[in-house]
Amino acid sequence: MIELILIITLSIILNKVSFKLIPSLLIDGDAVAKNYRGEVIPLGYGLVFSLNLVIIMIVGTIFGYYEVYQIYNFIILILAMSFIGLLDDTIGNKDKQGFSGHFKALLFQKKLTTGAIKALFAFIVVFFINFYINQDLSNLIINGVLILLMTNFINLLDLRPGRALKVTLFFLLLILILSSKNHLLIIPIIITVLFALSFDLQAKGMMGDIGSNVLGVILGLLIVGSFSFILRLMIISALVLVHLYSEFYSISELIKQNKILSYFDRLGR
């Protein structure tokens, strides 16, 4: 019980401080962008996820709350995805091209996009990590693909205030309820997402790719470590369908046309 109290306390303190300081840092560094309403707000506050969660994981590991081998994978992937997210936020093409758009540009136009770099770099890092934690080829492929698809899925949703964070929160709560493992790891992530959700819904900033990448890879790792092989296959199937749909149609329009999805999408704005 004491470890849970300490982790929760540390999470709250770090987030209170971060959400006061990071947005100002971004504005001072001219890391700003226009949101969907045309308002200029700080871009990349998702840096908070990387900083806070890595600190919490390191402190928790030092105190013996987390296993070193488990946190090792989380920290490597968080830092790797933060790097390519930061790259995308700073020098990337802001047009949402989808997987096919980035690779068509690379193969047929000989044009390198940050989206292509992100996809290739993420593929290499994710499969490198999975190579050492999976005993068989099927798990290596399934887990690697799931993490990559979940990372891009959260990125696809990050087009309206709070949307990606609400979906992330839903998955985190689902994992917490369905799995008895990792509650000490999931709770500080939930706290961080709740702080971000309040900030995001007020349109005070955009978390950027650095935020959506980190949330996606964390969800992917948690699902890989919590759910059965069959359930992971089902999640992959659903994610593949979403990605195929997004290549031809607008996810925002789909949400807008569905009363239930639209209600939850607008909730809190």
Tokens of 234: 């089902």
Neighbour tally for 111: CB within 10 Å:
12
**Nearest partner of 154 among 209, 235, 216, judged by Cα:** 216
pLDDT band at 47 (very low <50, low <70, confident <90, very high): very high
pLDDT tens digit sequence for 140-165: 889 889 999 999 999 999 888 899 99
Task: Please tell me the distance from the alpha carbon of residue 11 to that of residue 224, in angstroms, as a whole number.
Answer: 24
pLDDT > 90 fraction of the chain, expressed in percent and rounded? 54
Strands (E) across 60-113 are located at: none
Ramachandran class of 64: left when φ > 0, alpha when ψ lies in -120 to 50, beta otherwise: left
pLDDT tens digit sequence for 181-194: 788 999 999 999 99
Is residue 164 within 8 Å of residue 212, measured between CB atoms? yes
pLDDT tens digit sequence for 186-229: 999 999 999 999 999 988 899 999 999 999 999 999 999 889 99
Q: What is the CA radius of gyration of the chain?
A: 18
Tokens of 183: 């509650």
Please say if the pLDDT value at position 96 is more than 90: no
The whole-model pTM stands at 0.89
* Residue 51 exposed, middle or buried by CB count within 10 Å (0-12, 13-18, 19+): middle
Q: What is the reported pLDDT for 167? A: 96
Is residue 256 within 8 Å of residue 148, measured between CB atoms? no
**Nearest partner of 4 among 225, 197, 168, 186, judged by Cα:** 186
State the alpha helices, DSSP H only, in 158-228.
163-178, 183-201, 208-226
